[in-house]
């Protein structure tokens, strides 16, 4: 194609949908577009600075890094320029004409469903920050010249479905983004408005954001002079006491995209054989990207204020992906590629230190502001629990931060594992837990009757992830953790003798019931029941019924639950009545009716569904008629 040809192209279909949504002003905070353009410009400068570490010729003499804002009231345009890495023709088509990113469909759906007041935080999380320009502009033009290239390229679009690409001229490398503002958005040409937006969203960008402003001369004349609008304060390089809460709040919003203040600040400098500075934040709530699985793990990684990675996964484990912030380590080598940097052993040492300090900060937060910690745990506790199964070395430290409802706590009240240990009775050697859909179901489980009789507490785990990760926590502070539905407290000697004595009289009935209940693995007498007639117990090594049901939903499977053990209370009148019927006539048809009804009530008591409710109703009605 001749170099002078203007090429017209269409946006990809999903991008056309996003542009349509954004252009129709669904966002209540339109000024976010400038934050996105300034952030993109800063990233472009960071990239050329990083690339120049291995190829200085890419930079040349142009090292006066800055981002220029140029409002032009005469023609109604606002231009954001940088002297960063720039884009080639292929790159500009790829980056500005399509979105090659998973999760776009969910993003589109949530753009349409989310309330306007909360939509602004979504921009930028799916790589569509640039397109927020169409909230305020009816045409956007981008002129870019890539480092090392002599030819620039111009990209132009009105955001309605097409864009053009053609050769252009630019004095040096970098990018100019020019917005032709809509008539009703001309406020973004005013100096005070631009200052306020930069102050609110981009004050901590490392590179100077400059704009020519009017200055009074000696004889009341006015001249234009370039002025830096942002403070450029790298908070993490300052001492902890020199940073104000307001500065922390503003910086947190910048690095997280959140519109609320952080719940907790973690600011420290590591000294010794490895020196680095960390400025991290705990959020107050689960962000949009965390809810929909699009969250990137890790803080921004800097080496002497040069940003190396936007999200360094090697500094934070995935279960701490809700932590946002910055780590700056001058000891990391600058002359390596990003790929090699990811395998640098120093990052492992940094991670150990960062994780340790996060745990310490969370514990301090729980002690100093329990209500605040409770709110944070309610939002992010499920993510933190992932570490029980992923981080063997820190599983006890993670467990120490968890909160639990228990059999002995009031509804809505929580305890820690340390508090559970403190309250344990002298005759209790283990920590017990039970998983289920909700507290109400667990409280009424027959499996807990023996624990109530002994006065032993049981942790009630109702988070969906609990059944998957808690088996990884074998012990805490030397005390084993055991599932309550598989580990009943031993009976007092007198009661144990009663069960043993009853075993002989039930010797013929139990196998007869097993024959009539092929869905159970075994029928046996129970030492855990005091009030209920029957309960179901998982086989040793098997999944608890709640976790098994969750797995079936995830797999969208209709397969039945794995066979379990039916336990009977030998002293319950219903079980005694069944024994009398069998003793009188082992072929009595009522035996099967009673057996299936005992199995059905055990299913209901544990929260499982009846496989055939109509069969249960029929058998109940038959018994009612016989007794009438």
pLDDT at 1: 45
What pLDDT is attached to residue 178?
98
For the cut 80, the answer to whether the pLDDT of residue 289 exceeds it is no
Give residue-wise pLDDT tens across range 183-208: 999 999 999 999 999 987 788 788 99
* Structure confidence at residue 111 (pLDDT): 52
- pLDDT band for position 434 (cuts 50, 70, 90): very high
**Which pLDDT band holds residue 23 (cuts at 50, 70, 90)?**
low
pLDDT of residue 552: 73
pLDDT for 119: 43
CA 69 to chain centre: 36
Q: Residue 127: is its pLDDT beyond 60?
A: no
Inform me whether the pLDDT recorded for 2 exceeds 60. Answer: no
d(CA 213, CA 392) in angstroms, rounded, equals 58
Write 603-610 long-range contacts (CB < 8 A, 24+). Answer: 603/536, 605/444, 605/445, 605/446, 605/532, 605/535, 606/436, 606/441, 606/445, 606/447, 606/485, 606/535, 606/536, 606/545, 607/436, 607/437, 607/441, 607/545, 607/546, 608/536, 608/545, 608/549, 608/561
**Which backbone phi and psi does 538 adopt, to 5 degrees?**
-65, 150
Contact residues for 416 (Cβ-Cβ < 8 A; gap 6+): 400, 402, 403, 404
- Residue pair 445/605 in contact by the 8 Å Cβ criterion: yes
Q: What is the DSSP letter of 262?
A: -
pLDDT band at 431 (very low <50, low <70, confident <90, very high): very high
- In a 3-state reduction of DSSP, which class is residue 598? helix
pLDDT tens, 436-487?
A: 889 998 998 999 998 998 899 999 999 989 988 998 899 999 999 999 988 8
Asked if residue 615 lies in contact with residue 603, where contact means CB atoms within 8 angstroms, the answer is: no
User: What distance in Å separates the CA atoms of residue 205 and residue 158, rounded to the nearest whole number?
Assistant: 29
Contact 178, 140 (CB under 8 A): yes
What are the tokens at 568? 């009977």
Q: Tokens standing for 39?
A: 């952030």
Q: Is the pLDDT at 66 greater than 90, yes or no?
A: yes
Q: Residue 218 has what pLDDT?
A: 60
Report helix, strand or coil for 228. Answer: strand
> Of 316, 293, 68, whose CA–CA distance to 175 is shortest?
68
Containing 523, the helix (H) or strand (E) segment is: strand 522-525
Confidence of residue 620 (pLDDT cuts 50, 70, 90): confident
The model's pTM is 0.68
Strands 431-435 and 479-483 turn out to be: parallel
CB 278 within 8 A of CB 236: yes
Residue 175 confidence (pLDDT): 97
Which string of DSSP letters, residue by residue, matches 429-450?
-SEEEEE-S-HHHHHT-GGGHH
Question: DSSP state, 73?
Answer: T
Structure tokens at 398: 């993670």
If you average pLDDT over residues 219-229, what whole number do you get?
A: 82
Q: Is the pLDDT of residue 348 over 80?
A: yes
Q: What per-residue confidence (pLDDT) applies to 215?
A: 81
CA atoms of 316 and 348, how far apart (whole Å): 9
For the ranges 48-52, 105-109, 605-609, the lowest mean pLDDT is seen at 105-109
Mean pLDDT confidence for 269-274: 89
Position 116 scores a pLDDT of 47
* Listed range (271-285, 333-347, 496-510, 575-589) with the worst mean pLDDT: 333-347
Q: What is the mean pLDDT of the chain?
A: 85
**pLDDT per residue over 590-614, tens digit each?**
899 999 999 999 988 888 888 888 8
**Per DSSP, what are the bridge partners of residue 181?**
137
Alpha helix stretches (DSSP H) within 78-232: 89-97, 104-113, 191-201
Place of tokens 């469909």: 105
Quick one: pLDDT at residue 31? 87
- Helix, strand, coil tally for the chain in percent (to 5): 45, 20, 40
Rounded-to-integer distance, Cα 486 and Cα 401, Å:
26
| Interior/surface letters 244-278, b for 16+ CB within 10 angstroms, e for the rest | eeebbbbbbbbbbbbeebbbbbbbbebeeeeebbb
H/E stretch holding 300? strand 300-303
List the domains of the chain with CATH numbers.
7-228 (3.30.565.10), 235-359 (3.30.230.80), 371-483 (3.40.50.11260), 493-627 (1.20.120.790)
> Is pLDDT of 120 > 50?
no
Instruction: Tell me the C-alpha to C-alpha distance, in Å, between residue 27 and each of 22, 33, 253, 287.
Output: 7, 10, 18, 17
Which of 24, 41, 534 has the alpha carbon at shortest distance from 49? 41
Sorting pLDDT into bands at 50, 70 and 90, what band is 152?
very high
CA atoms in the 13 A half-sphere facing the CB of 272: 4
Locate 627 and state its tokens: 């007794």
Distance (Å) of CA 270 to CA 78, 266, 327, 334: 43, 12, 11, 20
Q: Which helix (H) or strand (E) holds 138?
A: strand 137-145
Q: Map residue 405 onto helix, strand or coil.
A: strand
For the cut 80, the answer to whether the pLDDT of residue 100 exceeds it is no
User: Would you state the pLDDT for residue 411?
Assistant: 93
For every residue of 20-62, DSSP letters joined together read HHHHTT--S-TTHHHHHHHHHHHHHHHHHHHHHTT-GGGTTT-
Lowest mean pLDDT segment, chosen from 88-97, 103-112, 405-414:
103-112
pLDDT at 400: 97
The runs of H, that is alpha helices, within 523-589 are 545-555, 573-584
Contact call for residues 562 and 539 (beta carbons, < 8 A): yes
Q: How far apart are CA 93 and CA 88, in angstroms?
A: 9
Average pLDDT over residues 544-566: 72
Please compute Rg for the chain using Cα positions.
Answer: 33
538-577: string of b/e by CB count within 10 Å (b at 16+)? beeebbbbbbbbbeeeeeeeeeebebbbbbbbbbbebbee
Among the listed residues 223, 225, 253, the one whose alpha carbon sits nearest the alpha carbon of residue 120: 253
Taking alpha carbons only, the member of 176, 210, 213, 214 closest to residue 78 is: 176
For residue 399, give the nearest of 389, 412, 409, 408 by alpha carbon.
389
pLDDT confidence band for 548 (50 / 70 / 90)? confident
Tens digits of residue pLDDT in 560-569: 567 889 999 9
* pLDDT confidence of residue 117: 44
């Amino acid at each position: 194609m001749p170099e002078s040809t203007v090429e017209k192209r269409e946006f990809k279909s999903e991008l056309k949908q996003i542009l349509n949504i954004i252009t129709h002003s669904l966002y209540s905070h339109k000024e976010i577009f400038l934050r996105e353009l300034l952030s993109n410009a800063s990233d472009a400068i960071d990239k050329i600075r990083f690339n120049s570490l291995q190829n200085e010729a890419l930079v040349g003499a142009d090292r006066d890094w800055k981002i220029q804002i140029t409002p032009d009231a005469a023609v109604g345009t606002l231009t954001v320029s940088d002297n960063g890495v720039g884009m080639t023709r292929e790159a500009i088509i790829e980056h500005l004409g399509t979105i090659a990113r998973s999760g776009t469909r969910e993003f589109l759906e949530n753009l349409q469903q989310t309330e306007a007041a909360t939509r602004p935080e979504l921009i930028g999380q799916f790589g569509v920050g640039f397109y927020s320009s169409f909230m305020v502009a009816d045409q956007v033009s981008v002129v870019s010249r890539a480092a090392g290239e002599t030819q620039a390229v111009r990209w132009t679009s009105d955001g309605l479905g097409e864009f053009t690409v053609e050769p252009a001229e630019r004095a040096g490398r970098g990018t100019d983004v020019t917005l032709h503002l809509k008539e009703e958005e001309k406020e973004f040409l005013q100096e005070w408005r631009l200052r306020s937006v930069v102050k609110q969203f981009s004050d901590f960008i490392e590179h100077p954001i400059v704009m020519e402003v009017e200055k009074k001369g000696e004889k009341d004349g006015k001249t234009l002079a370039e002025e830096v609008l942002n403070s450029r304060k790298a908070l993490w390089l300052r001492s902890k006491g020199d940073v104000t809460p307001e500065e922390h709040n503003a910086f947190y919003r910048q690095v997280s995209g959140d519109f609320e203040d952080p719940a907790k600040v973690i600011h420290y400098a590591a000294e010794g054989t490895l020196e680095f500075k960390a400025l991290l934040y705990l959020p107050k709530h689960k962000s949009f990207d965390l809810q929909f699985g699009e969250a990137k793990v890790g803080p921004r990684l800097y080496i002497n204020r040069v940003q190396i990675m936007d999200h360094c996964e090697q500094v934070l484990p995935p279960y701490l992906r809700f932590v946002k912030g910055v780590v700056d380590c001058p000891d990391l080598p600058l002359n390596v590629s990003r790929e090699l940097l990811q395998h640098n052993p120093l990052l492992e040492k940094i991670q150990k230190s960062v994780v340790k300090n996060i745990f310490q900060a969370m514990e301090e937060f729980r002690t100093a502001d329990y209500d605040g910690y409770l709110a944070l745990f309610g939002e992010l506790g499920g993510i933190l629990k992932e570490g029980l199964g992923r981080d063997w070395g820190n599983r006890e430290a993670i467990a120490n931060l968890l909160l639990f409802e228990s059999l002995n706590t009031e509804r809505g009240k929580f305890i820690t594992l340390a508090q559970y240990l403190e309250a344990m009775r002298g005759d209790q050697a283990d920590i017990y837990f039970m998983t289920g859909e909700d507290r109400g179901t667990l409280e009424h489980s027959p499996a807990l009757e023996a624990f109530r009789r002994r006065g032993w507490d049981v942790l009630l785990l109702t988070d969906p992830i609990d059944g998957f990760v808690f088996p990884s926590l074998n012990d805490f502070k030397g005390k084993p953790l055991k599932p309550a539905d598989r580990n009943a407290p031993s009976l007092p000697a007198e009661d144990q003798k009663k069960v043993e004595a009853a075993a002989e009289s039930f010797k013929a009935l139990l196998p007869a019931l097993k024959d009539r209940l092929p869905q159970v693995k075994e029928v046996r007498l129970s030492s855990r029941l005091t009030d209920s007639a029957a309960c179901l117990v998982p086989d040793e090594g098997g999944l608890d019924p709640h976790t098994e049901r969750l797995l079936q939903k995830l797999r969208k499977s209709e397969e039945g639950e794995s066979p379990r053990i039916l336990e009977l209370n030998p002293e319950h009148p219903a079980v005694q009545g069944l024994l009398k019927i069998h003793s009188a006539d082992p072929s009595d048809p009522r035996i099967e009716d009673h057996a299936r009804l005992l199995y059905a009530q055990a299913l209901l008591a544990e929260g499982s569904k009846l496989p055939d409710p109509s069969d249960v109703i029929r058998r109940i009605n038959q018994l009612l008629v016989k007794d009438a």
